[in-house]
């Protein structure tokens, strides 16, 4: 079993919809939880990170962490075609452990 | 450009050949990471350096792989006797002192194809 599980999708939504992404993990030692966005043939780009449990909001993006359930989520409000990308969750001890990534397409 | 720079961007090699990739981290970043990403998967950790010291190596890093960061600046990743299974995107990331991987910035990657 992988340390981090993420539904690979793909996920297709109409413009303006809410995109909901999630990951589960098994390592209780993880304390920082990240979301990366990766466009085709590019390196991952950090969107936001959260320490421990709770919510964090940054513009149209909201990250949630529930350490008791070992479950994290990313919500994208008012999605735009430019949000079409692969979204990777990641968690860290001394290194980053990534999920497989969810490919999202926002249809105009 | 002040981001993480990786060269070459693409490399096609024949099975059995040796290849070397270079990563130039962001200036003043003391930590440098190498990851490998195959199609449809997230990046997998290979190794990381703090300054010139290689502090951790993944079991994925077989004895055909070697990484160096001789002066604590740029790093190289060499693969000897390449195999088709080595075909992947090799990503480098760096992070500033005191932040660890939470604030790691990734380069654009080197895409390796072994034929």
pLDDT digits (tens, 9 = 90+) for A47-98: 999 988 889 999 999 999 999 999 999 999 999 999 999 999 999 877 889 9
> For residue B1, what pLDDT is reported?
54
Cα–Cα dist B33/B91, whole Å: 8
H or E stretch covering B13? strand B10-13
**Nearest chain B alpha carbon to A49:** B102
Q: Is residue B85 very low, low, confident or very high in pLDDT (cuts 50, 70, 90)?
A: very high
> For residue B50, what pLDDT is reported?
93
**Nearest chain B alpha carbon to A9:** B40
Tokens for B24, please give them: 């130039």
> For residue A8, what pLDDT is reported?
82
CB-based contact B106:A44 (threshold 8 Å) = yes
Angle at B67 between CA B66 and CA B70, to 5 degrees: 130
Nearest by CB to residue B43, choosing from A44, A45, A46, is A44
**B25 and A CB contact within 8 Å:** no
Per-residue pLDDT tens over the stretch B1-43: 579 999 999 999 999 999 999 999 999 899 999 999 999 999 9
**B46 and A CB contact within 8 Å:** no
User: Where do the DSSP E strands lie in A15-83?
Assistant: 19-25, 32-38, 45-51, 54-58, 61-66, 71-76
Q: Is residue B101 very low, low, confident or very high in pLDDT (cuts 50, 70, 90)?
A: confident
Candidates A34, A43, A50: best to mutate against B (most CBs of B within 10 A) is A43
Cα–Cα dist B36/B16, whole Å: 19
Q: Is residue B103 very low, low, confident or very high in pLDDT (cuts 50, 70, 90)?
A: confident
Give the C-alpha distances (Å, rounded to integers) separating B69 from A6, B25, B77. 33, 11, 9
Per-residue pLDDT tens over the stretch A8-32: 889 999 999 999 999 999 998 888 9
**B43 and A CB contact within 8 Å:** yes
């Amino acid at each position: 079993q992988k340390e981090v599980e993420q539904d690979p999708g793909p996920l297709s939504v109409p413009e303006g919809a809410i995109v909901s992404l999630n990951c589960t993990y098994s390592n209780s030692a993880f304390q920082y939880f990240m979301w990366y966005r990766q466009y085709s043939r590019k390196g991952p780009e950090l969107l936001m990170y959260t320490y421990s449990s709770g919510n964090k909001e940054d513009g149209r993006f909201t990250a949630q962490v529930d350490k008791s359930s070992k479950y994290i989520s990313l919500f994208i409000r008012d999605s735009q075609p430019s949000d079409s990308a692969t979204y990777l969750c990641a968690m860290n001890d001394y290194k980053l452990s990534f999920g497989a990534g969810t490919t999202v397409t926002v249809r105009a | 450009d002040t981001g993480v720079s990786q060269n070459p961007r693409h490399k096609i090699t024949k099975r059995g050949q040796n290849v070397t990739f270079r990563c130039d981290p962001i200036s003043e970043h003391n930590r440098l990471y190498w990851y490998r990403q195959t199609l449809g998967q997230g990046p997998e950790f290979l190794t990381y350096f703090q300054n010139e010291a290689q502090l951790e190596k993944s079991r994925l890093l077989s004895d055909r792989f070697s990484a160096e960061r001789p002066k604590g600046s740029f790093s190289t990743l060499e693969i000897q006797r390449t195999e088709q299974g080595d075909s992947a995107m090799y990503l480098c990331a760096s992070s500033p002192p005191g932040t660890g991987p939470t604030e790691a910035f990734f380069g654009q990657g080197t895409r390796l194809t072994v034929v």
